[in-house]
Amino acid sequence: MSINEILEVLSNACGVTGRESQVKDIMVHLLKPYSDEIQIDKLENVIAVKNGKPKAPKIMLAAHMDEVGLMVKTITKDGFVKFSKMGGIDDRILLAQKVIIYTQKGARLGIIGSKPPHIQKEEERKKIITYDDLFIDVGAESKEDASKIGVAIGDPIAFDIKYTNLGNDVAIGKAFDNRVGCVVMVETLKLLKRTDCTVCAVGTIQEEVGLRGAAAAAFGVDPDLALALDVTIAGDVPGVREFDASAKMGKGPALTISDSGLITHPKVLRWLIDSAEEKKIPFQLESGLLGSTDAARISITRQGIPCGTISVPTRYIHSPVGMVHLKDIEDSASLTATAIQRIAKHF
């Protein structure tokens, strides 16, 4: 499968944080041909192991499988679904979105509604409608009717956005944070073929609500080094200062120097930069980022694990639809694989 095809399958799947099983199954299927063993730990992190030589370093790759989304919180007596937010979502982008509720009886479509603007008071119209004043309309007549079609408290809810390749290697779709990183991980294993290091490619759960899967997986894997494969904000759109988001779409993988949870280990940064320069892979450096990745949590596991982050610049992350350049995914995988191949020069 091509990068475009893999991203399409992963992007269209539902993996709202805490309910990652659809994505987990796809990842097992995609990683299996390139690994010696697949483990699923008790929290349902996927760990694909590629065995190397016993004395060579063990490296963990971490790509989180979850996405920001919603969850059914209550159902009103008139059959409207009230919801909670799973992960960081801006309330302003919720209104009028088409969503899919994944019920025990299958997927149900709905739309996010609110009080119509015509009957809102002047002051109301100026205010942001927060998520607790919104609801999902699934066309049910009553609470009983909603239950009958399968809607239940706790069901995960994802945005109904279908993956589309716009041409010029640019694609749009949902959950690019972090299905894009998942694709980078699959492609890295594909490129690796034989290596001296043991590689544990981990699809982590619940990153969006506090890097939880990575914490448990890193303890279990106990690697010598780790790389988080994720996305970063592409700031190359109107209204964004370069100071706030310097990464640009289509200009290669971004290497994190520092973010809110990690200052990349200097040896890891050197290793990644040298690898990119040697193979002439384009890259961008980012420092002082406000967000963070699984690497933040992995780096303080056990006695400490040197970590780095390779991210694909992606526009509009944490909104219903993102945009990515497929070449950046290819370059990120090629950089990750190259770095692993030449690890002996650095560690």
Determine the interface stretch with Zn ion among 4-12, 78-86, 133-141, 227-235 (rule: CB under 5 A): 227-235
Helix axes 176-192, 3-12, angle to 10 degrees: 140
Q: Does 230 bind Zn ion (CB under 5 A)?
A: yes
Shortest distance, position 207 Cβ to Zn ion, whole Å: 6
Q: Measured between alpha carbons, how far is 120 from 116 in angstroms, rounded to an integer?
A: 7
Shortest distance, position 160 Cβ to Zn ion, whole Å: 21
Q: Are 149 and 103 in contact (CB under 8 A)?
A: yes
Which of 219, 183, 178, 218 has the alpha carbon at shortest distance from 202?
A: 218
Determine the interface stretch with Zn ion among 142-150, 225-233, 251-259, 338-346 (rule: CB under 5 A): 225-233
Sheet of 164-167: strand order equals 164-167, 170-173, 322-325
Q: Does 8 bind Zn ion (CB under 5 A)?
A: no
Helix axes 21-31, 176-192, angle to 10 degrees: 20
Shortest distance, position 15 Cβ to Zn ion, whole Å: 12
5 is catalytic: no
The beta-strand segments (E) located in 180-247 are 198-204, 225-233
Of 112 and 296, nearer to Zn ion (C-beta) is: 296
Of 178 and 275, nearer to Zn ion (C-beta) is: 178
Terminal Cα-to-Cα distance of the chain (whole angstroms):
33
Of 62 and 269, nearer to Zn ion (C-beta) is: 62
Of 178 and 319, nearer to Zn ion (C-beta) is: 178
Shortest distance, position 90 Cβ to Zn ion, whole Å: 16
For Zn ion, how many residues bind (rule: CB under 5 A)? 3
Which of 190, 213, 209 has the alpha carbon at shortest distance from 62?
A: 213
Q: Does 12 bind Zn ion (CB under 5 A)?
A: no
Which of 169, 207, 185, 208 has the alpha carbon at shortest distance from 324?
A: 169
Q: Measured between alpha carbons, how far is 253 from 282 in angstroms, rounded to an integer?
A: 7
Determine the interface stretch with Zn ion among 8-16, 35-43, 123-131, 228-236 (rule: CB under 5 A): 228-236
Active-site entry in 207, 208, 286, 330: 207
Of 57 and 173, nearer to Zn ion (C-beta) is: 173
Of 7 and 81, nearer to Zn ion (C-beta) is: 7
Shortest distance, position 27 Cβ to Zn ion, whole Å: 15
| Degrees to nearest 5, angle at CA 194 with 192 and 199 | 65
Q: Tokens 């937010």 correspond to what residue?
A: 85
CA 47 to each of CA 13, 18, 133, 237, 316: distance values in angstroms, whole numbers, following the listed order: 19, 17, 40, 36, 29
Which of 84, 83, 146, 292 has the alpha carbon at shortest distance from 208?
A: 292
Shortest distance, position 96 Cβ to Zn ion, whole Å: 25
Of 230 and 331, nearer to Zn ion (C-beta) is: 230
Q: Does 314 bind Zn ion (CB under 5 A)?
A: no
Shortest distance, position 197 Cβ to Zn ion, whole Å: 24
The binding track of 159-198 with respect to Zn ion, each residue x by CB under 5 A or -, is: ------------------xx--------------------
What amino acid is encoded at 283 in this protein? F
Q: Are 336 and 230 in contact (CB under 8 A)?
A: no
Site for Zn ion in 240-259 (CB under 5 A): none
Q: Are 216 and 278 in contact (CB under 8 A)?
A: no
Q: Which residues are identified as catalytic?
A: 207
Q: Which residues bind Zn ion (CB under 5 A)?
A: 177-178, 230
